[in-house]
Amino acid sequence: MEHDRWVGLDLRHLLALKAIADEGSFGRAADRLGYTQSAISQQIASLERIVGLRLLERPGGPRPVTLTEAGRILLRHAEAIEARLLAAKADMAALEAGDAGRVRVGTFQSVGAKIIPELLRQFAASHPGVEVVLTESQDEDELLAMVERGDLDLTFWTLPLVGGPYEAVELLRDPYVLVVPADSPLARLERPPTLREITLHPLVGFNQCRAMAHVDRQLAAAGRTPNYVFRSDNNGTVQGLVGAGVGISLSPRLTVDEDDPSVAIIDLQGRLEPRVIGLVWHADRHFSPAARAFVESAVAVCSELAEAPAAA
């Protein structure tokens, strides 16, 4: 391959293109990047000279700059390169911080209660040199954003995966159960109640939680509109409210306390699709041995959990 003009290409060129595409103006792009308008103008001129094609359409006057066909195509590559560069930066930062023996993992409440303790116990025993840093959040999307930024190496996640530069592994399927007051007539049925029977009762649920959205989506698809009388972010609160007779609750099995005598737990036997819990990581980032080991441990622990789902 010839040593052509492409070696003169600079990252600033690509960042400038992206900034202009976002802002629609050389001047605003310059402000955002901390350059002068003249500098941006020259950078783009240089970039166009390198690729040999006009990348931006300057209509003149106060009208916004638009991308040409070539500009759009190049911009997609530029964004991919920038993303890869950010991944590299995150990897270097992790290495600089001495992360060879550290895994930063994102969790959320319903996974924290049952999976994490056993997983950490086994992982610590089998990998004593690895430090695990947990970050718990109410908002799964925030966890994913942290993975994207490189602030986390892994995060638990309710599958399926949304689009993005991610890879995932499925850990376990967690079926939904119906939690009712211990003296509820629903608890004495021979068969699991139908969705219709369930939605006739007032419901207690969670806030802003992907598992709950999953339930609501399925109810809506079945033509049922749930009647929520209370929402909380805390599993114990939800279960306490059910025990107190405020309502009933559709909860993932892993989130319920099966030893609570004030409630009865009813297997829905497939009336609702189970939620699928997995681990997600950034596809472009370096997969450290410590992270790999953590994923393997998680898979092992969860397959144990799945085989003995209702251990007292």
Positions touching its own copies (CB under 8 A) are 3, 6-7, 9-12, 15, 33-34, 51-53, 69-70, 73-74, 76-78, 80-81, 84-85, 87-89, 91-92, 95-96, 100, 284, 286
- The helix (H) or strand (E) run that includes residue 263 is strand 263-267
**Could you tell me whether strands 275-282 and 227-232 are parallel, antiparallel, or unpaired per DSSP bridges?**
unpaired
CB atoms within 10 A of CB 133: 12
- CB-nearer residue toward its own copies: 87 or 248: 87
- CB-nearer residue toward DNA: 49 or 84: 49
- Which of the choices DNA, its own copies, none does residue 89 contact, using the CB cut-off of 5 to 8 A by kind? its own copies
**Amino acid of residue 241:** L
Cis ω before 117 (30° cut-off from 0): no
- CB-nearer residue toward DNA: 25 or 237: 25
- Judged by phi (left if over 0) then psi (alpha if -120 to 50, else beta), residue 160 lies in beta
Distance of closest approach, residue 225 Cβ to DNA, in angstroms? 47
Q: Which two tokens stand for residue 55?
A: 């990348």
Distance of closest approach, residue 75 Cβ to DNA, in angstroms? 16
- Which of the choices DNA, its own copies, none does residue 129 contact, using the CB cut-off of 5 to 8 A by kind? none
Task: List the Cα angle 179/181/184 in 5-degree steps.
Answer: 105
- Which of the choices DNA, its own copies, none does residue 60 contact, using the CB cut-off of 5 to 8 A by kind? DNA
Q: Which two tokens stand for residue 122?
A: 């086994």
- Which of the choices DNA, its own copies, none does residue 231 contact, using the CB cut-off of 5 to 8 A by kind? none
Distance of closest approach, residue 156 Cβ to DNA, in angstroms? 42
Dump the DSSP string for 86-155: HHHHHHHHHHHTTGGGEEEEEE-HHHHHHHHHHHHHHHHHH-TT-EEEEEE-S-HHHHHHHHHHTS-SEE
- Which of the choices its own copies, DNA, none does residue 176 contact, using the CB cut-off of 5 to 8 A by kind? none
Q: How many angstroms separate the CA atoms of 234 and 102, rounded?
A: 29
- CB-nearer residue toward its own copies: 1 or 310: 1
Please give the residue ranges that form the binding site for DNA (CB under 7 A).
Answer: 8, 10, 12, 20, 25-28, 30, 34-39, 41-46, 56, 58-63, 65
- CB-nearer residue toward DNA: 20 or 209: 20
Distance of closest approach, residue 294 Cβ to DNA, in angstroms? 35
Q: Which two tokens stand for residue 2?
A: 């010839």
Which sign does the torsion angle of CA 117, 216, 214, 147 carry?
Answer: negative
Distance of closest approach, residue 298 Cβ to its own copies, in angstroms? 23
Distance of closest approach, residue 78 Cβ to its own copies, in angstroms? 8
